[in-house]
Amino acid sequence: MEIDWKNLGFGYIKTDYRYVSNFKDGRWDDGELTTDDKVVLNESAGVLQYAQTCFEGMKAYRTVDGKVVCFRPDLNAKRMIDTCKRLEMPTFPEDRFIEAVKAVVKKNIDYVPPYGSGATLYIRPYMFGSNPVMGVKPADEYQFRIFTSPVGPYFKGGIKPITLRVPDFDRAAPLGTGHVKAGLNYAMSLHAIVDAHKQGYNENMYLDSATRTKVEETGGANIIFVTKDNKVITPKSSTILPSITRRSLMYVAKHYLGLEAEEREIRIDEIGNFKECALCGTAAVLSPVGKVVDHGKETLFPSGMEKPGEITQKLYDTLTGIQMGKIEAPEGWICEIA
């Protein structure tokens, strides 16, 4: 295996082992690690016809002292349970989820990038309806899998600020599935992101679909803003995916940086008052946003297009410092794997 850790993109690289467990007759089997990366399904499997699938995303990090850890996997396990309930899928128990994550990372330990390379081992737990369905109804059989892939930064160009546009598409309906990690949310975001890229923007900044006046999030990351008096704020909405990175950053802002942090409704017409903006998520980590374009109306944040704002940089350094073992973590945030 020859991997150029420093130049890795965010793409799939096949690793040696993956975890598989099957749900049949109302129960999960014992699960196993396998080298087989193929999934063979009936042509009418629930996932193929009615998109009954969901996923999680997390990372394993190599710490400064050479350990391999992951970050708050209990929250991924819980969020997947919430997602499965919303999609009428069986839930995979939290303790088994965490054990499976540990086992699959241990088996692929040589793919965990070295400390300081900027790369990490991405971990993708997911589940789908696997038996044939014809009428619109939940499947009876499911497969839960976890694969891993070494990844570099999500946005090319690393920590350079990006530009968002406010699209003419919605992401989530008020009582829909925006708050869960359902595959269907991403299928319908693909047209909007391809269109954004065509128009020269990096990502979409979705508004609430009921009133189209309030900021929600992007297709795959939550958003934070910093006010002129250094308060960290993030949109409050029942249709935003509850990002573990965002929840952790709000804690870091308060308890490590001594800043005020608040979740509240944020109107699109007030973003010109803020001095910094950034996207946050496991894949994006914390990516600075330099500019937002809303149908010709440009908001250029004072932090500019060259480098992250001061608070964004501090939040990034503190969170990644915690993940890489350089800064002491709050109780229970770091799960040691090896």
Ligand X SMILES: *Cc1c(COP(=O)(O)O)cnc(C)c1O
Active site residues: 181
In the complex, least distance from residue 14 CB atom to ligand X, rounded to whole angstroms: 22
Contact 280, 243 (CB under 8 A): yes
Distance, first Cα to last Cα, the chain? 20
Residues 6+ apart with CB under 8 A from 119: 5, 6, 8, 113, 150, 151, 152
Judged by CB, which is closer to ligand X: 52, or 222? 222
Judged by CB, which is closer to ligand X: 23, or 225? 225
In the complex, least distance from residue 242 CB atom to ligand X, rounded to whole angstroms: 7
State the Cα torsion 79-108-283-182 to the nearest 10°. Answer: -40
3-state secondary structure 199-232: CCCCEECCECCCCCCEECCCCCCEEEEEECCCCE
**Footprint of ligand X on 224-283 (CB under 6 A):** 241, 243-246, 281-282
Can you tell me which of 217, 224, 250, 334 binds ligand X, judged by CB under 6 A? 217
**Footprint of ligand X on 157-186 (CB under 6 A):** 181
- Residue 164: which of 282, 315, 299, 310 has the closest Cα? 299
In the complex, least distance from residue 73 CB atom to ligand X, rounded to whole angstroms: 11
Judged by CB, which is closer to ligand X: 145, or 246? 246
Distance from C-alpha of 114 to C-alpha of 121, rounded to nearest angstrom: 10
What secondary structure letter does DSSP report for 325? Answer: T
The count of residues interacting with ligand X (CB under 6 A) is 13
Draw the binding track, 275-314, toward ligand X (x: CB under 6 A; -: no contact).
------xx--------------------------------
| SS3 call for 24 | strand
Judged by CB, which is closer to ligand X: 179, or 314? 179
Residue 65, amino acid: D
State the Cα torsion 241-243-246-250 to the nearest 10°. Answer: 90
Judged by CB, which is closer to ligand X: 23, or 246? 246
Q: Is the dihedral of CA 98, 104, 108, 111 positive or negative?
A: negative
Residue 220 as a binder of ligand X (CB under 6 A): the answer is yes
Helix (H) or strand (E) holding 127: strand 120-129
Can you tell me which of 222, 237, 287, 323 binds ligand X, judged by CB under 6 A? 222
- Residue 292: which of 164, 169, 197 has the closest Cα? 164
Distance from C-alpha of 300 to C-alpha of 311, rounded to nearest angstrom: 17
Judged by CB, which is closer to ligand X: 122, or 142? 122
Draw the binding track, 36-75, toward ligand X (x: CB under 6 A; -: no contact).
---------------------x------------------
Q: Which residues bind ligand X (CB under 6 A)?
A: 57, 181, 217, 220-222, 241, 243-246, 281-282
